[in-house]
Amino acid sequence: MIETPQIVPSPAQLVATVHIETPRSQMQQVMGPGIGEAMSAARAQGVGPAGPWFAHHHKITAEDFDFDICVPVSTAVTAIGRVQPGQRPAFNAVRTVYHGPYEGLGGAWQEFKQWIEANGHQTAGDVYECYLVGPETSRDPSAWRTELSRRLIE
């Protein structure tokens, strides 16, 4: 389900970001428009995307998501509508890649969490999902690749 996790440096990255707080039941309705807004702003300003988009989840509960949609950019984006300039800080991460459809992400995160605990690592509460290959590039969900990252506490 997931590749063997690795400890890797994660460099700082400028982003165009849209902050979203939503019930789980509304995730599919809010994700697409948020991605579209961030991508459109980056493209219109000629600064991105400078890599695959990612989500920075601040808090995930059984009922709600609190996260940022982030589109990497080469220089700071100018705020427009819900799109704001931002930066992912540099940090050391434990990282893996999940292969498969988005419906399997919950199980992938659980498997990743178990590996982290079994290997004695401590991580911060926030998580990152980077969408390397998804429905915009492949119609075959088995070809989708999602990078899962947790910030290490050292």
Homologous superfamily (CATH) for 6-152: Regulatory factor, effector binding domain (3.20.80.10)
pTM, whole model, 2 decimals?
0.94
Question: What pLDDT was estimated at residue 88?
Answer: 97
Above pLDDT 70, what percent of the chain? 100
Domain ranges of the chain: 6-152
**Is pLDDT above 90 for 52?**
yes
Question: What pLDDT was estimated at residue 74?
Answer: 98
Question: What pLDDT was estimated at residue 119?
Answer: 97
Query: What confidence tens digit (pLDDT) does each residue in 55-85 have?
Result: 999 998 889 999 999 999 999 999 999 999 9
- Per the model's pLDDT, the better-predicted residue between 28 and 92 turns out to be 92
Question: What pLDDT was estimated at residue 1?
Answer: 83
Nearest CA to 38 out of 21, 52, 24, 28 is that of 52
Structure tokens at 148: 């899962």
Instruction: Please report which confidence band the pLDDT of residue 109 belongs to, taking 50, 70 and 90 as the band edges.
Output: very high
Q: What b-and-e string marks burial along 41-54, b requiring 16 or more CB atoms within 10 Å of the CB?
A: bbeebebbbeebbb
Question: What pLDDT was estimated at residue 77?
Answer: 97
Helices (H) and strands (E) in the chain, counts: 2, 8
Query: What confidence tens digit (pLDDT) does each residue in 112-146 have?
Result: 999 999 999 999 999 999 999 998 889 999 999 99
Instruction: Please report which confidence band the pLDDT of residue 154 belongs to, taking 50, 70 and 90 as the band edges.
Output: confident
**Is pLDDT above 90 for 28?**
no
Q: Provide the H-helix boundaries in the chain.
A: 27-44, 105-118
Question: What pLDDT was estimated at residue 13?
Answer: 98
Give Cβ neighbours of residue 24 (< 8 Å, ≥ 6 apart).
Answer: 62, 63, 64, 65
**DSSP annotation string for 19-59:** EEEEEGGGHHHHHHHHHHHHHHHHHHTT----S--EEEEEE
